[in-house]
Structure 1
Amino acid sequence: MALSNPVLYELAEAFGIATEFWDWKGRHTEIDDDTMIAILGSMDVDATDADRAQAALRTLHDRPWTRLLPPCVVMRSGAEQVVLAHVPHGAWVRLAVRLEDGGHREVPQIEHNVAPRLIDDVEIGEAAFQLPGDLPLGYHRLQATTEHGTEEVTLVVSPSFLGFPPAMGEKRVWGYATQLYSVRSEDSWGIGDLVDLADLAIWSGAEQFASFLLINPLHAAQPMPPIEPSPYLPASRRFVNPLYVRPEHIFEYSQLSETDRQRIGTVKQQLLETLAGEPLIMRNLIWPAKLAALRIIFGHGLRPARRMAFNDFLRREGRALTQFATWCALVNVHGVNWREWPAELQRPSSPEVAAFAQDNAEEIEFHAWIQWIADNQLRAAQSGARDAGMRVGVVSDLAVGVSDWSAEAWTYGNTFAQGVSVGAPPDHFNQTGQDWGQLPWRPDRLDDLAYAPFRTMVAGLLRHSGGMRVDHIMGLFRLWWIPAGMPATKGTYVRYNHEAMVGILALEAYRAGALIVGEDLGVVEPWVRDYLRERGILGTSIAWFETDGAGEPLPPEQWREYCLASVTTHDLPPTAGYLAKDHIRLQHRLGLLTESLETELAQAEREQQAFIAALRRGGFLTEDEPSTEDIVLALHRYLLATPARVLCATLPDAVGDRRTENQPGTVDEYPNWRVPLSHPDGHPMTMEELYTDERALRLAGVMNGFAVPPVEPRFEVERLAAD
């Protein structure tokens, strides 16, 4: 049903809200009044009747004229850009740039004949200035001087093209993708941790000749059980989940008394005995035990130089860390959902929160200390990866958003839209749509804040990473907003200033020398992929999804060069499970199919046989009666025939694991994000077993281009695809 009020169309256009879209089956769908009014309301726009909608539109049109300068200007290096300034009609204004390094550049005014506008009984004029294209990269200050003084706003100059990091040079690279929590060593606490990450990176680089290790988001979860298992529904994307800290690798552990080390050993032993035989990752049991150990170590204190380093970390992280640590302390007193706390504690700036912080200073310091420890262990993992010969190293993952109860929602308040959540419209694999339960940024508030929350988040993630995967990178362009109480099918798209957000992402990556991969799967506007390629940001290509216009497998030579190419992803089963059609049967059991089981199985069989035929035509599969592993290896040979510069193999594919990590469209109906890395028979695999796994050796041989796979779990043969 179309919108009933023409003003709603104008408001929708002004706020970047789609009034229509084409679904995955090519059907045209129009947005109705209920959805539009709810989404406008989430951005504090009252459009519940025609008069209110008209008043909101007038305010919106006048808003730029009430500001001397826009709150944030983002431009590309090498390209000039016009900036508009608004002053009382006839008044003078001068513009200059205060450069990040302390330099100063005047900005010339250009001819701009626009009639003044009456705002609150004052005639306001508009002047135009031409920013030069030779400004250096960085975060600068744009200064406007009038007879009343000087006003400054943020000016961001980003690379016009990012491309590959210098460490890659002109070479192709490959790496593993894994869910870190699933890869457990004999020394870990029942969950893969940052020490396991370092060890896994060393094995991948030194023994497998991989150049990167792509992991799930390590974002912070809530500091008390029940702990959200999804790494894509975090409490904070700026800070690290302390579950990933290894207590015994903290420096102060070595200085503990024998009694305290025994106390920690007892806690760990009791935990491991409790977890014995448990088939899943049990975060709610692991965290209290690990927390007890961390408190013992924290209580030991720091020697002077370590205290200096910790204090420096506190200074660098500043208010954001203090607020996050305060939120952690409050959660342990009042519960995980801050919206249910006493009203006076629901704003981080309230006097009552300040009083709580003063009374609980040691507890807040403890949670800040954990972040410092996590930062140190992350640094060690990336250092180990690079020392092991990895060109890129650890590649972090950035989730789309945070939950309604999150620390970010408490800290940033109305920077997030209220009364809506983020998801996805229906598609072939999720035919009822998805509601991810995440809060979306408000595009207008991000602009008001000069994108500071986004900037600090990206910079923090890249500090100890060689690259970053941006989950659902289309979220920098548009997101599917779903009003509270409505199904995912009743949502619509809301646009963001992609030029600003991609520009900031490119600038931070350039400074960090990092590789950026955008996950651009699902419903994507075709121009978005072209734009990302133009900016030198990689897309994502999954073998099963790469088809031509007739639905046949896309020939490898027609794949993109600027992409991370892989056979599967964490939202699908490992390839062995995919070939067995485990995902179809699982979706049937969970009631997620819109067609019959037989129809879906038949369709999956046709698609798989088409791909197997393509593998045979290309000479990638030669066996008459191939095993599942034969097909898995052939699919990865197929990847090597593409022009893609970055190739990825999943660790579950390397060991023959079949179980999927995540079934989209479910929460607890399937044990999402709780499945450990396992042998083909489903028995959990330790990292020590991984080191000697012959399947992994054979797959790495394929990824390295060996003519004959090695026969021992150590590469002692000459690489044919030498760097």
Structure 2
Amino acid sequence: MDLNLDTLYYHLGISGDYLDYRGQARQIPAFVREHALGLMGVADDEGTRRDKQYQLDIAPWLYPLPAFSVVRGQSLSFYLPAEHHYHQVTCRVELESGGEFQTQDLPIASLTLSGNYQYQDVTYVRYQLPLEGLAVGYHRVWLMLDDERTYVGDVAVCPDRCYLGEQPARRLGLNLQLYTLRLTENLGVGDFADLRALIKHLAPLGLDLIGLNPLAALAWQDEHSKSPYAPSDRRFLNPLYIDVAGACDALGIDKPADALVPDFELRARELRETSSVEWRQVAKFKYAVLAALYQEFVAQDSAWLDHWRDFMGHNGALLRSFCDFEVQYNPFGEACSGDAEFHGFLQWLATQQLEACQAFAIEQGMSVGLMADLPVASVGSGHEIATNPDLFVQNADIGAPPDPFSDTGQNWGMPPLNPSVLRARHYDHFISLLRSAMCGAGALRLDHAMWLQRVWWCVQTELGPSGLYVYQNVEEMLALLALESQRNQCQIIGEDLGVVPDDFRAMMRNYGMLGNALFYFATDVSDCFLPAQAQRDDALLMVANHDVPPLRAWWQGLDIDQRLQYGLVDEHSAKSQRHSRAVQKQQLIALLHDHDVWPDLAVPQACDEALCLAIYRFCAKGASPWVILQLDDLVGADTPVNIPGTFLEYDNWSRKLPGLDLADIQGPWSKLFEQLALDRASV
């Protein structure tokens, strides 16, 4: 077998070109592709590369039944030489539930052929074995050829589409960063008590969905750790979101929350009244409170102890591994920090409260409830990657190529998955990510959903920094996503902003996923805002999200000033963006006027409450099945929670919202949502 680098690159997903955000073709230099090959563990010698090519390109045709198959449809692939002596194939399936699917005997000559491969003068063919009636799920297959040879493999039988639930024509939702809330007497960071209060007051207004930032555990060993999109492990929760007072009541703890540690009220008030979340100070205090709660809990003879132990046992080795990691690297929790079961207790408590919030949302009449958010990656120093070193690629970071937000592109500083290793491990890590993210959620938003198809790798070569796209087996990953979505009855929204190939959006539609449009980007090729009826009808429409400025800041151009201030764009780019923004504002006002939501064609100096409402109403008149407002806009925020491309330059992921009296604002907001519902119904 001769070495063919293009074949090797194809199977490893290493791209040779791509289209940039302007639609221009960009070639990936050969030395960058070679560098990526080395990062994937393929050594720079011909023998090793031939072995890898054989393993990926040829070997799958030589063994009759793959060790793991992803099936979407009603047939399973198996492989034989074209000139074989077998006449009959017998298939027996052991169901995931423990039962046995009917055994079937079929003449091989009756089966459909779906491909062939030539190797060393032998032709190998792929047969399709029908599996009609087999339930979706993870099963084991025995394949017998003329009672001579038996082969065993696992199969994931996947549905055609993700879970859709009931789909009324048009719905409203609200998006927020949970940690920014100050609705209750929390301990310095918005928690599940704040979320429950929000649900109680807003669900009756006609909201069907509340979208949350990722709630995943942070890497506390890093003093700068705070971004919900850069967690330690996406499969575990951040205990800072636990409602301590609610936990005391639910678990029957004899002490009230404010008696768990000295100076509770003073320290809680100081942390609550800061304008930004003081993450490490909050963590130091709240973990101490949670440790005291844990000690009270284990000292009591309560039936809840059995529930906790069941949770620990059910989650097994993975939870134990995370708890051991926290013991080693989490500096908080005082006397309990070295107790692995303490960290397991926190995961149990956080999971219980999140699920209770989702149940409460449904009880209050929300059709979907909470929308969780799954980040694209985790930090290299965290548990997820430290315990899976072979699954993630060191010396590469996930990011984005140059775009209007950054002339130099973005590097998010988190290692990417190795696609071929993920596939070789039967996607077990991907499946565990999905199951964890869907816990306590009626919908799941996939941040940068394009990572299911391709990921931009930022690499440092001998000639300097560079980048390239690396591709996944997108059809198999989408099929598994559909399977887990159906099993967990969780709708799927894929954030498909930025440079997204048309074929990926087509696949999303095919699998029953909604896209995630953004008001700011609902424009044509000239950057003019689209009329409401021309907006996407296959996407959840957000007015804003965590990576763009609130409406008031956008109107003033504060985001452009900040990008210039932090060196993300130069003066020339900033000037061009300011000019474009002025044109956009004028065109938007005309559009709002045409849609009967704004009285005249004068362009206001500032974006006040009336203009915000007009923009909301314009969005509500559009074609999207979902319109999601941003809580930041409702309360008049004018500073962003995050400026993409910055790290320490701006205090990302910390800014709080002002304290709100929900009882006072429920009336005005009720009128707002009634108007938006009328606008939606009139379309």
Task: State TM-score, norm by structure 1.
Answer: 0.85
Task: Compute the displacement of 1:486 (Å).
Answer: 8.4
| d(CA) in 1 for partners of 2:153, 2:368 | 35
- The residue aligned with 1:154 is 154
Match of 1:57 among 53, 72, 76: 53
State the 1:118 CA deviation: 6.2
Task: Measure the CA separation in 2 of the matches of 1:86 and 1:439.
Answer: 40
* 2:507 counterpart of 1:531: yes
Unaligned 5+ segments in structure 1 are 336-359, 678-684, 707-719
Shift of 1:428: 1.3
Deviation at 1:52, TM superposition (A): 5.1
Query: How much has 1:453 moved relative to structure 2?
Result: 1.4
- 8 Å CA contact 2:72, 2:157 repeated in 1: yes
Q: Figure out how many residues of one structure are paired with residues of the other and give that number.
A: 664
Change (3 A) 1:465 1:270: same
Q: Displacement, 1:447? A: 1.4
Counterpart AA for 2:382 = S
Describe the superposition over 1:627-680 as per-residue Cα deviations: whole angstroms up to 9, x where unpaired: 622222122111222221111000011111111111111111111111111xxx
Structure 2 unaligned residues grouped into runs of 5+: none
Counterpart code for 1:616: H
Matches within 5 A, 1:578-589: 578-589=554-565
3-state SS of 1:281 partner: coil
The amino acid that maps onto 2:36 is I
- Alignment match, 2:594: 617
How much does 1:477 deviate? 0.8
Structure 2: how far apart are the matches of 1:174 and 1:609?
A: 27
Q: Deviations over 1:188-211 (max 9, x none)?
A: 0111011211221222202x3211
Q: Does 1:663 align with 2:643?
A: yes
Match of 1:608 in 2: 585
Deviation of the 1:473 alpha carbon: 0.6
CA distance in 1, matches of 2:51, 2:420: 18
Offset, 1:463: 2.3
After TM superposition, give the deviation of residue 582 of structure 1 in Å. Answer: 0.8
Mark the CA change 1:484 to 1:243 in structure 2 (over 3 Å): closer, same or farther. farther
Q: Cα offset for 1:170?
A: 2.4
Aligned partners of 2:117 and 2:485: how far apart in 1?
A: 42
Pick from 620, 638, 652: which aligns with 1:672? 652
Q: Per the alignment, do residues 394 and 415 of structure 1 end up closer, same or farther by CA in structure 2, a change over 3 Å counting?
A: same
User: Shift in Å at residue 496 of structure 1?
Assistant: 0.8
Amino acid at match of 2:157: V
SS state at 1:426 partner: coil
Q: 1:395·1:469 contact (CA, 8 Å) conserved in 2?
A: yes
Secondary structure in 2 matching 1:437? coil
Higher mean Cα deviation, 360-369 or 664-673? 360-369
Structure 2: which amino acid aligns with 1:291? Y
C-alpha distance in 1 between matches for 2:482 and 2:118: 37
Residue 209 of structure 1 aligns with which residue? 206
CA distance in 1, matches of 2:116, 2:562: 62
Q: Deviations over 1:76-105 (max 9, x none)?
A: 24x545333689975786443323342314
Summarize the Cα distance change of 1:263–1:550 in structure 2 as closer, same or farther, 3 Å threshold: closer
Partner SS state of residue 138, structure 2: strand
1:307-341 superposed Cα distances (whole Å, 9 cap, x missing partner): 211121112212111111111112148x9xxxxxx
The structure-2 alpha-carbon separation of the partners of 1:43 and 1:213, relative to structure 1 and needing over 3 Å to count, comes to same
Judged with a 3 Å threshold, the aligned counterparts in structure 2 of structure 1 residues 185 and 490 are, in CA distance, closer, same or farther, namely: same
Aligned counterparts of 2:3 and 2:29: Cα–Cα separation in 1: 12
- How far does residue 241 in structure 1 lie from its aligned partner after superposition? 0.6
1:627-642 equivalences under 5 Å are 628=607, 629-642=609-622
**Distance across 2 between alignment mates of 1:267 and 1:22:** 56
CA RMSD of aligned residues (A): 3.1
Question: 2-side partners of 1:514 and 1:495: how far apart?
Answer: 26
**Amino acid in the other structure paired with 2:153:** V
Q: Does residue 576 of structure 2 align to residue 599 of structure 1?
A: yes
CA distance in 2 between partners of 1:424 and 1:225 (Å): 24
Structure 2 Cα separation of the partners of residues 114 and 704 of structure 1: 56
User: What's the counterpart of residue 236 of structure 2?
Assistant: 239
Query: Quick one: which of 21, 26, 34 aligns to 1:24?
Result: 21
Distance 1:311 1:145 in 2: 43
Contact 1:82 1:131 in 2 (8 A): no
2:366 paired with 1:390: yes
Which deviates more, 629-638 or 50-59?
50-59
CA 290–16 in structure 1, closer or farther in 2 if over 3 Å, else same: same
- % identical equivalent positions: 28
CA distance in 2, matches of 1:272, 1:175: 31
Q: Report the counterpart of residue 643 of structure 1 in structure 2.
A: 623
Distance 1:277 1:245, change over 3 A: closer
CA shift in 2, pair 1:279/1:285, >3 Å: same
Go from structure 1 to structure 2 and tell me whether the alpha carbon gap of 1:691 and 1:284 turns closer, same or farther (over 3 Å shift).
farther
Q: Distance in 2 between matches of 1:609 and 1:260?
A: 53
1:417 paired with 2:393, answer: yes
Q: Is residue 175 from structure 1 mapped to residue 169 from structure 2 by the alignment?
A: no
Which residue of 290, 311, 328 corresponds with 1:294? 290
Measured in 2, the distance between the counterparts of 1:673 and 1:224 equals 18
Distance 2:215 2:8 in 1: 38
Alpha-carbon distance change, 380 to 103 in structure 1, aligned in 2, over 3 angstroms: same
Instruction: Give me the whole-angstrom Cα distance separating, in 1, the residues matched to 2:429 and 2:193.
Output: 29
CA distance in 2, matches of 1:556, 1:217: 30
Task: Give the TM-score, by structure 2 length.
Answer: 0.89
Residue aligned with 2:408, SS: coil
1:499 aligned residue? 475
Mapped to 2, the partners of 1:69 and 1:223 lie a distance apart of 45
Distance 1:115 1:22 in 2: 32
- Pairing 1:142–2:141 present: yes
2: CA distance, partners of 1:214 / 1:487:
43
Task: Tell me the equivalent position of 1:339.
Answer: none
| Residue of structure 2 equivalent to 1:264 | 261
Q: Is the 8 A contact 1:690 1:696 kept in 2?
A: no
* TM-aligned CA deviation for residue 591 of structure 1: 1.1
Counterpart amino acid of residue 215 in structure 1: L
Amino acid at match of 1:399: P
2:675 equivalent to 1:702: yes
**1:475-514 alignment to 2 at 5 Å?**
475-484=451-460, 490-514=466-490
**Distance verdict in 2 for CA 1:156–1:589, change over 3 Å:** same
For 1:35 and 1:362, the matched residues in 2 are separated by: 44
d(CA) in 2 for partners of 1:331 and 1:443?
Answer: 29
> Pick from 84, 103, 106: which aligns with 2:79?
84
Cα distance in 1 for partners of 2:585, 2:453 equals: 33
The match for 1:100 is: 96
Q: 1:29 Cα shift?
A: 1.8
Amino acid at match of 2:65: L
Tell whether 2:548 aligns with 1:572.
yes
